[in-house]
Structures are given as structure tokens and as C-alpha cells.
Amino acid sequence: MEISALRDLLEGEVLCGEDRLDDEIETLFASDMMSDVLACPDEIHCLLTGLINQQVIRTADMMDIGLVVFVRSKRPSEEVVEMARQRDMVIILTPCRMFTACGRLYEAGLGLR
């Protein structure tokens, strides 16, 4: 699935990484616990989370995750967005709750981890 399709499914707003919307993603991981993300042995293309702090970007960077989706319209600070921009990540903000976002993406064929 292209990131642009994910954005549309989740009624998302792109905060940074607009130039990467044609990138393909196949898997996602949804969690508010970054320790769970770090413990995942599988490749993750997209992280869904309700956390909006710098640790999310650091964790995504360590795991080579290029797309972070913030759920429940939680808007990160410009500092967090700039940190993601420097790492060439895509950041999307969605009004969906995590459960709804995961359901929509699963129905669309993305693999959940």
C-alpha cells in the first residue's frame, strides 16, 4: 500500500515527508509502549501510536521505521516533527482511534505485527 492510500484511509494530515507519499508499506505495529516496538523481531514499515514525544521518533529511527502515524488527533510539537524531518520520516496525524485505524488498515491488506 502506498503511504498516500494509508493517509486517505485514515483521513490523515501529513505533517512532514510529503515527498515520500508514493513509498510502499506492507506492515505496521501499533503500540504506546516503545519497549514493545524495540522488542519486535519483524520488519516494521509503519508505527501507529498515541505518544507524541521525541522517544517515538528515536525508537522509529532505531528500528528503521519510515512512517509514524499519531492517532486520536494528538499533535506532536514542532520539535518532534523537525526531528522526524531530519531523519527523512513521514509523519501523519489521524483523528481515528488506534483500534479504528488498525481495523481499517487490516481490512485494506496491511499486515499487523
**CA dihedral for 30, 9, 89, 24, sign (positive or negative):** positive
Spatial contact of 73 and 94, defined as CB atoms under 8 Å apart: yes
b or e along 22-33 (b: 16 or more beta carbons within 10 Å of the residue's beta carbon)? eeebeebbbbee
Find out whether 60 and 89 touch, Cβ atoms under 8 Å. Answer: yes
pLDDT digits (tens, 9 = 90+) for 60-79: 999 999 999 999 999 999 99
User: Residue 30 has what pLDDT?
Assistant: 96
Q: What is the pLDDT of residue 113?
A: 63
For the chain, the domain total comes to: 1
Q: Give the model confidence (pLDDT) of 8-38 as tens digits.
A: 999 999 999 999 999 999 999 999 999 999 9
| CATH code (residue 54) | 3.40.1390.20
Reduced to 3 states (helix: H, G, I; strand: E, B; else coil), residue 30 is strand
pLDDT per position as a tens digit, 84-112: 999 999 999 999 999 999 999 999 988 76
Q: So what's the pLDDT on residue 71?
A: 98
pLDDT tens per residue, range 31-56: 999 999 999 988 999 999 999 999 99
Residue whose grid cell is 489521524: 94
Residue numbers of the domain that contains 39: 3-112
Count CA atoms within 13 Å of residue 100 on its CB side: 13
